[in-house]
Amino acid sequence: MRYIALLTLFLATSCSTAVDTKDLPNLNGYWEIKEVRFTDGTKKEYKVNSMVDYITLDSLNGFRKKVQPKFDGSFVTSNDAEAFKILIQNDSIFMEYNNDLTHWREALLSISQDFFSVRNEEGIIYHYQRFEPINITP
């Protein structure tokens, strides 16, 4: 059964349609991680997130930063952000990060208004959904 699950995962990620560049603006906004799929077929689901990712993309350059949502609908943030650029190679789209300490990239597997997923260089797949803030005001 495990081999069937791995085969299904492989086919789903390798035979999926390429991400269209017209969908890239959908990356803008707040995102929370929902699931991580590891290369051995196991997965980890996230029911609640104390931190979310804020992504801004302008043309083919952008940045990503962690923010902490508050109950009043605002966010706690810092000035730390990871700059990235979009690379298009062989019908694939990558988010490439480069800073003074390291260089890495993630392949965009899917993008829609409410969901996106990426695969890192180790083959781990991250699934995100658009963050919906909880606004509790007295």
Residue 138: band (very low, low, confident or very high) from pLDDT cuts 50, 70, 90 = low
0.95 surpassed by pTM: no
Poorest-pLDDT segment among 54-58, 61-65, 71-75, 134-138: 134-138
Q: What single string gives the DSSP state of each residue in the chain? A: -HHHHHHHHHHHHHSSPPPPGGGGGGG-EEEEEEEEE-TTS-EEE-S--S-EEEEEEETTEEEEEEEEE-TBS-EEE-S--EEEEEEEETTEEEEEEE-SS-EEEEEEEEE-SSEEEEE-TTS-EEEEEE----B---
pLDDT for the residue numbered 79: 83
pLDDT for the residue numbered 12: 46
pLDDT for the residue numbered 65: 96
Does 1 score more than 70 pLDDT? no
Q: For the segment 68-106, what is each residue's pLDDT rounded down to a tens digit?
A: 998 888 899 988 899 999 999 998 999 999 988 899 999
Residue 114 or 1, more confident: 114
